[in-house]
Amino acid sequence: MVATPYNKYRRFKRGIKSSQELFRNHSEGITWDRAQDACNPHGLENREEFLRKSGIPDEHEFWIGKVFDRVKTRWIEIIGCFEIAEVHNRLLSAVQSIGYCLEKCYSENVGGYFGYRQLDVSMIHSFEDLYYFVINKVGETKRKTRTDRRERVKVLENQAEFANGELHDIHNSKIPNLESLIAEEANERLKLEVWGRKWNLVIRGIEGKVGESPKVTENIVRIWLHNDKKGLGFTAPQVKGMLFTAVHRLPNGPEKKRNIILRLSNLIDRDDILSAATKLPRGCGYSVVPDLPPSLAARRGELLAERSKMSNEEKRKFRLVYLKDPPFVQLVKKRS
């Protein structure tokens, strides 16, 4: 059976019992069923040898009575499942041709219902047949779906188990190392910052005016270093020989006694100033400390607060020391 879905060609070939060939045209187009009826009593031609010798032009299409192909052709319309009033207790049968299937249904007077399956055509002669056919297909689909679902779940469980194992390995082996590496990196950065500030000193308690220039601040510092009563008591030549690379007020401290940052070019001068500052009388209001990064400066404040809570006798046993390596600053008990 050859067909066009739009009935572009309106001819059909009627089967005959002689060698005569007969063609009919239909002006409005015609379906296969109507063409089959119009060619009664013999129906549409289905003998292959007559069709091949009929001389039908290759560019034309005709309704014929046999399907040679085992695949679904364009003239089939899929209409889905619907209820059939007639009920017959018949089993499904199958043939290799859609045309044979329809012809068999007509000839046995069992109704014209048939369905297409993957590799063959199954005739469904009643609603009961259709029902069992659909039930079987639904059962097969459910079983296949359950199997596929179980397989997918198993694959997902295996993947989840593998991922969980990988996460445990990362947590047990990589993260501890990563934490230690981060801490080590932070300490190295802090160590570099401490090294870069080692020429700096912070002087507290020296009075000054708000907004004074660095030059004025430098003169005030030199006077305080030379002052033997309120200052550190260095000689004039010593103070003159100290080279400051930077000196200015910081934003912290009381308004009229802002802290001073002093950067020296010589570490010996720095150590001399620190050593002299340890001899300042307790409660004089002046102090000199090494310049530290903010985190270590906060830690130094915590340690000094901890020491201040001790009794006077205990205070004398501890001193604050500065280290080159972590923790950089700590309270150490003096040797007896």
286 & 333 share domain = no
283 & 225 share domain = yes
Report how many domains make up the chain: 2
Euclidean distance between CA atoms 96 and 44, whole angstroms: 18
334 & 262 share domain = no
- 264 in a structural domain: yes
- 335 in a structural domain: yes
262 & 326 share domain = no
- 189 in a structural domain: no
- 303 in a structural domain: yes
- 164 in a structural domain: no
CATH number for 213:
3.30.70.1820
Could you list the residue range(s) of the whole structural domain that residue 317 is in? 293-336
- 63 in a structural domain: no
DSSP letter string, 295-328: HHHHHHHHHHHHHHTS-HHHHTTEEEEE-SSTT-
- 158 in a structural domain: no
202 & 286 share domain = yes
Q: Are 225 and 280 in contact (CB under 8 A)?
A: no
253 & 303 share domain = no
297 & 265 share domain = no
Euclidean distance between CA atoms 136 and 252, whole angstroms: 88
Which residue type occupies 145? T
213 & 277 share domain = yes
223 & 234 share domain = yes
In tens digits, the chain (336 residues) has pLDDT values of 333 333 333 344 444 344 444 567 776 677 777 777 777 777 777 777 777 677 666 666 677 775 544 444 444 445 555 555 554 555 556 665 555 666 666 666 555 555 555 444 444 445 555 566 677 777 788 888 888 888 888 888 888 888 888 888 777 777 777 778 888 888 999 999 999 999 999 999 999 988 899 999 999 999 999 998 889 999 999 999 999 999 999 988 788 899 999 999 999 999 999 999 999 998 899 999 999 999 999 999 999 899 889 998 888 888 889 888 889 999 898 886
Helix (H, G, I), strand (E, B) or coil at 3: coil
For residue 132, the model assigns a pLDDT of 66
For residue 100, the model assigns a pLDDT of 62
- 139 in a structural domain: no
The residues, ordered by sequence, that sit 6+ positions from 88 with a Cβ below 8 Å of its Cβ are 110, 111, 125, 126, 128, 129
